[in-house]
Amino acid sequence: MDFDRRQLMVGLGALAAGSAVAALASTSREESNERNERFQQNGGDFSWTPHKLDPAECARVAYDGYWHKGYACGYGAFYSIIGVMGEKFGRPYSTFPFSMLEANKSGVCDWGTICGALYGAAASFALFWGREERKPLVDELFRWYETTKLPIYDPGAQATGYKGHLPATAVGSILCHISVSKWCYANKFEATSTERSERCGRITADVAFKAVEILNAKIDAGKKFSGSLPAQDSLTACGACHSTPGEETNWSKTRMDCTPCHSGSPAVQNKFENHP
C-alpha cells in the first residue's frame, strides 16, 4: 500500500509538473503570438501602391501646404505626394492624418534637426518601400539637397510670404539649423525674416518636385533603381577610418557630408570662449 501511495504521489507530481510546463509553453506561445500580432499592419508592411505624379503640380501643392495653417515644410512635402495621391486615387492615401507631419516644422518642433521637407518626402517613400529599396531614393534626394543651389521654385505673383527674387545658395547640409543659418549668413537675411520663411516655402516645393521625380523613376525602374549622385568626398575620406568596422576610430554613423561641422572653419570653432 505504501509503495502504491508513493507511486501515486510521484505520478501526480509528474503530472502536475508536466501540466505546469505545458501551461508555461502555452503561455509563451500566446505571448509570442501577441507580440507578433501587435505589430501586424493592414495589408502588410510598406503595402501601399505608389502612383506616378506630376512634379510641377506637386511642387505647387507643397508650397501652398507649407503656408497652410503654418504647418510648414514637413507637412507641405508629405501632403504634396500622399495628399495628391489621395485627391486623385482616394483611399488609403486620403485617410492619412496629415497634420501629424506638422511636428517636423523647423527641424522637428524648432530643434533645427533634419529639414522637415526632406523628412516628409522620405516618410512618403516609406509607405511604399522597405529600407533596402528606400535607401537609394533617400540618398539621391538628400545628396541633391546638399549640393544644389536652392531655392529654385518661384511662385511669382502667387507668393504668400515675400514676392520677388530670392538668392539661391548651396548649403551643404540636410540639417535645418545649418541650412537656414548658412543661407541667412550668405544673403544677409535674419532667420526670423519674411524672406527666410518664403525661402523655406520655396524649398519645400523644390524638395517635392525632386522627390516626385525620384518616385516616378523608382516606379519605372523597380528594384533596379539606383541614384546618380555619389557620396560626398568628405564622407568617403572620413569614412575610411570613422565608419569602417575594425578601425580604432570607427565612431561615426552617418551618410551626410562631414564638411559643414568638421571643416575647422571659423563658423564651427569654439564659440564658448571669449565670444563675441
Q: Between residues 25 and 271, which one has the greater pLDDT?
A: 271
Q: Which residues contact 97 (CB under 8 A, 6 or more apart)?
A: none
Confidence at 255, pLDDT banded by 50, 70, 90 = confident
Q: Which of 125, 124, 118 is nearest to 148 (CA)?
A: 118
Q: What's the rounded mean pLDDT across residues 179-194?
A: 97
Q: What's the rounded mean pLDDT across residues 168-172?
A: 96
Q: What was the pLDDT predicted at 234?
A: 83
Q: What was the pLDDT predicted at 21?
A: 59
Top-ranked range on mean pLDDT: pick from 35-44, 71-80, 251-260: 71-80
- What is each CA distance from 121 to 127, 139, 236, 246, in whole angstroms? 10, 12, 25, 34
- pTM (2 d.p.): 0.85
The average confidence (pLDDT) of the chain is 90
Q: What was the pLDDT predicted at 273?
A: 84
Q: Between residues 115 and 8, which one has the greater pLDDT?
A: 115
Cα–Cα distance, 239 to 250 (Å, whole number): 8
- 75-113 pLDDT, tens digit per residue, is 999 999 999 999 999 999 999 999 999 999 999 999 999
Q: Hey, how many other C-beta atoms are within 10 angstroms of the C-beta on 83?
A: 22
- 16-43 pLDDT, tens digit per residue, is 666 665 666 666 677 667 777 888 888 8
Q: Which of 130, 116, 143 is nearest to 214 (CA)?
A: 143
Q: Which of 186, 201, 187, 213 is nearest to 61 (CA)?
A: 201
Q: Which residues contact 9 (CB under 8 A, 6 or more apart)?
A: none
Q: Between residues 260 and 132, which one has the greater pLDDT?
A: 132
Q: What was the pLDDT predicted at 11?
A: 62
Q: What's the rounded mean pLDDT across residues 124-153?
A: 97
Q: Which of 102, 114, 111, 97 is nearest to 72 (CA)?
A: 102
